């Protein structure tokens, strides 16, 4: 017995929340950063954490300008492809996509990202949260747009 499209996608008009990894798993955040209060409702797709996978869990805090290099972008695009395939299929089945990034993140910011570190020896450094998208979210949203997949995007953890 087959499943109807209503079973596969949760029914017409159902929302799928697509979330930055650390919103559901704060253990992947840079050490010392507090978890962000976030509780998705309904159908959820958790994105991979590009920073943890690329730099490891013992990484230092970084800013967008440090991650905005060709190799990291290629890495993000490789992570995104299978997720974009899934999101495209869900959208074709009638699901609406709500993408939730993390405010101020150099990778997963949707409205705000971070800027300021200039490199050098490890030391305390100032950075600012600025308008713009993180590298990973920028690549994801561009890929979905290129495929003609409709979505709404927002971020959690903003002030």
Helix/strand/coil (H, E, C) string of 91-146?
A: HHCCCEEEEEEECCCCCCCCCEEEECCCCCCCCCCCCEEEECCCHHHHHHHHHHHH
**pLDDT on residue 83:** 97
Domain region containing 132: 15-27+41-117+128-156
Judge whether residue 5 has pLDDT over 50: no
Structural domain includes residue 76: yes
Going from the C-alpha of 94 to that of each of 40, 67, 101, 153, 154, the distances in angstroms are 19, 35, 22, 17, 20
**pLDDT on residue 148:** 97
Max mean pLDDT among 5-14, 17-26, 29-38, 129-138 falls in 17-26
Structural domain includes residue 3: no
Q: At what angle do helices 135-146 and 70-92 cross, to 10 degrees?
A: 40
Residue range 105-159, pLDDT digits in tens: 999 999 999 998 777 777 777 777 888 999 999 999 999 999 999 999 999 998 6
Structural domain includes residue 33: no
Q: Count structural domains, the chain.
A: 1
**pLDDT on residue 12:** 54
Residue range 46-60, pLDDT digits in tens: 999 999 999 999 998
pTM comes to: 0.87
Structural domain includes residue 132: yes
Structural domain includes residue 52: yes
C-alpha 134/C-alpha 108 separation (Å) is 5
Structural domain includes residue 47: yes
Structural domain includes residue 32: no
Structural domain includes residue 2: no
């Amino acid at each position: 017995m087959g499943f109807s499209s209503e079973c596969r996608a949760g029914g017409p008009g159902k929302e799928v929340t697509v979330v930055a990894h650390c919103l559901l798993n704060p253990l992947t955040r840079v050490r010392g950063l507090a978890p962000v209060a976030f509780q998705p409702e309904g159908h959820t797709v958790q994105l991979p954490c590009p920073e943890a996978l690329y730099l490891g869990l013992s990484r230092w805090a970084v800013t967008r300008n440090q991650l905005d290099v060709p190799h990291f972008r290629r890495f993000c695009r490789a992570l995104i492809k299978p997720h974009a395939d899934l999101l495209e299929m869900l959208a074709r089945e009638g699901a609406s996509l709500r993408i939730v990034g993390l405010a101020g993140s150099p990778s997963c910011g949707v409205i705000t990202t971070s800027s300021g570190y200039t490199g050098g020896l490890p030391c305390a450094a100032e950075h600012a949260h600025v308008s713009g998208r993180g590298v990973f979210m920028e690549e994801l949203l561009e890929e979905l747009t290129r495929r003609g997949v409709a979505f709404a995007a927002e971020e959690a953890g903003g002030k």
